[in-house]
């Protein structure tokens, strides 16, 4: 039990930022929802940890849980509020300047305009996940994935126009 | 540098805020598991007690009550039991969906679940509702002689308001689940297409 506890702590510290970025991107930059959804992802990670069979990397396994959790997170709970596209948390952060924040806001809005699959795929691409792993997380062949990524990248780049 | 590289750089600039430590997450996960077990036991206890009470009531009062009132009462209780059982089955079917599978497989399993829910909402729920209303009307008409006119009117009005409220809840829930089923079906189609 102690060993499981320790490995969960290590996984949590190592993977938190990645899962949080995925959730934040999926929920249009809404940090409050992203934090709660990330917490839910890790609750599920803990609950299923014993079932991890090393068939994929731990990171891929966690991304699968994260993608599936985000997909239904807002929709299955009636008490949770819908995402408002204009919602963007104000956060006085020294490393963030107004331009970066504005660009991020635009990027979130552009991601939001993609279709459901496109949104989830690009969030994984943006985090630098290998195509083979994305293919395993999403459940489509690598060839199909490449076609989709090409189209999504083009669409996103046109929208953001940095 | 391409535009997408710039987007990726911007993406990595994001910072994150943590809510809770790993210990807190574990505590919440354990609490969640305990709550599920408690809820499951609670449903079994309610179902058992209701059936026992029903049997007891039937054995004790069947000779004294009018058959119509008894039938009405039985129908009402039966409809509630069926509804609780359907919700319990739904809950366990949803919990059994494997969240560790790929998005495509997860979506497929969730679609099957919501198709099952659709059957409950469109077939079983109206049937249960009709059973409940029939039971109520049978009971009410049998009890009419024994209650005052004002109380009789009050019972009818409050029952109509209750029925309207329940119908509104069912319609709201049905719309939400249908919307979700449509989204999942669309997602499946997107995943299957090569575009």
Say if residues A37 and A70 touch (Cβ distance below 8 Å): yes
List the single best residue of B102, B188, B189, B193 to mutate versus A (max A Cβ within 10 A). Answer: B102
A134 close contact with B: CB closer than 8 A: no
With 80 as the cut, is the pLDDT of residue B72 above it? Answer: yes
Which among A105-114, A130-139, B18-27, B70-79 has the top mean pLDDT?
Answer: A130-139
Mean pLDDT across A137-141: 94
- The H or E element containing residue B37 is helix B22-61
Nearest CA in chain A to B190: A117
pLDDT at A133: 94
pLDDT at A85: 41
Predicted ipTM beyond 0.90: no
Cross-chain Cβ contact B25/A120 below 8 Å: no
A-B interface: how many C-beta pairs under 8 angstroms?
A: 140
Residues composing chain B: 195
Confidence label for B49 from pLDDT (cuts 50, 70 and 90): confident
Confidence label for A84 from pLDDT (cuts 50, 70 and 90): very low
Helix axes A58-76, A116-126, angle to 10 degrees: 140
In chain B, residues 4-43 whose CB comes closer than 8 Å to chain A: 4, 6-8, 10-11, 13-20, 22-23, 25-26, 28-29, 32-33
Say if residues B35 and B58 touch (Cβ distance below 8 Å): no
A43 Cβ contact list (under 8 Å, min separation 6): B25, B28, B29, B32
Q: Look at the block and give the residue holding tokens 């979130």.
A: A108
- Burial class (CB within 10 angstroms; exposed 0-12, middle 13-18, buried 19+) of B84: middle
Least confident of A25-39, A95-109, B103-117: A95-109
B182 close contact with A: CB closer than 8 A: no
pLDDT at A78: 46
With 80 as the cut, is the pLDDT of residue B109 above it? Answer: yes
3 state DSSP class of B122: helix
Which among A2-6, B9-13, B91-95 has the top mean pLDDT?
Answer: B91-95
Nearest CA in chain A to B19: A35
With 70 as the cut, is the pLDDT of residue B79 above it? Answer: yes
Mean pLDDT across A88-117: 75
With 50 as the cut, is the pLDDT of residue A86 above it? Answer: no
Say if residues A40 and A69 touch (Cβ distance below 8 Å): yes
Confidence label for B29 from pLDDT (cuts 50, 70 and 90): confident
In chain A, residues 48-77 whose CB comes closer than 8 Å to chain B: 48, 51, 61, 64-65, 67-69, 71-72, 75-76
Cross-chain Cβ contact B11/A71 below 8 Å: no
Q: What is the DSSP letter of B192?
A: H
Cross-chain Cβ contact B99/A71 below 8 Å: no
Least confident of B89-98, B105-114, B139-148: B139-148
Average pLDDT of chain B is 86
- The H or E element containing residue B22 is helix B22-61
Cross-chain Cβ contact B10/A103 below 8 Å: yes
Distance between CA atoms of residues B18 and A148, nearest Å: 32
Cross-chain Cβ contact A117/B100 below 8 Å: no
Tokens of A145: 């994935």
A16 close contact with B: CB closer than 8 A: yes
Cross-chain Cβ contact B29/A46 below 8 Å: yes
């Amino acid at each position: 039990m102690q060993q499981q506890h320790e490995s969960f702590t290590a996984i949590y510290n190592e993977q938190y930022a990645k899962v949080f970025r995925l959730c934040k991107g999926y929920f249009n930059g809404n940090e409050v929802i992203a934090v709660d959804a990330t917490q839910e992802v890790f609750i599920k990670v803990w609950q299923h940890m014993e079932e991890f069979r090393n068939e994929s990397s731990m990171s891929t396994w966690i991304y699968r849980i994260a993608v599936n959790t985000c997909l239904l997170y807002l929709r299955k709970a009636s008490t949770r509020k819908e995402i408002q596209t204009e919602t963007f948390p104000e956060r006085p952060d020294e490393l963030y300047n107004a331009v970066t924040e504005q660009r991020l806001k635009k990027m979130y809005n552009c991601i939001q305009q993609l279709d459901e699959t496109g949104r989830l795929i690009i969030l994984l691409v943006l985090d630098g996940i290998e195509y083979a792993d994305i293919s395993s997380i999403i459940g489509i062949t690598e060839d199909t994935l490449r076609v989709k990524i090409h189209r999504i990248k083009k669409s996103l780049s046109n929208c953001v126009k940095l | 540098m391409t535009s997408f590289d710039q987007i990726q750089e911007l993406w990595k600039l994001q910072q994150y805020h943590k809510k809770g430590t790993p210990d807190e997450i574990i505590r919440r996960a354990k609490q969640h598991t305990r709550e599920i077990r408690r809820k499951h036991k609670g449903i079994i206890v309610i179902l058992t007690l209701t059936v026992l009470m029903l049997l007891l009531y039937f054995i004790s009062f069947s000779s004294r009550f009018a058959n119509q009132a008894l039938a009405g009462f039985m129908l009402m209780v039966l409809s509630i039991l069926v509804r609780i059982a359907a919700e319990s089955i739904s809950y366990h079917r949803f919990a059994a969906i494997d969240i560790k599978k790929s998005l495509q497989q997860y979506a497929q399993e969730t679609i099957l679940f919501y198709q099952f829910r659709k059957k409950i909402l469109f077939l079983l729920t109206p049937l249960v509702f009709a059973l409940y209303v029939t039971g109520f009307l049978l009971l009410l008409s049998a009890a009419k002689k024994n209650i005052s006119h004002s109380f009789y009117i009050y019972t009818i009005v409050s029952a109509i308001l209750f029925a309207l409220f329940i119908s509104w809840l069912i319609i709201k829930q049905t719309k939400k689940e249908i919307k979700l089923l449509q989204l999942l079906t669309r997602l499946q189609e997107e995943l299957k297409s090569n575009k």
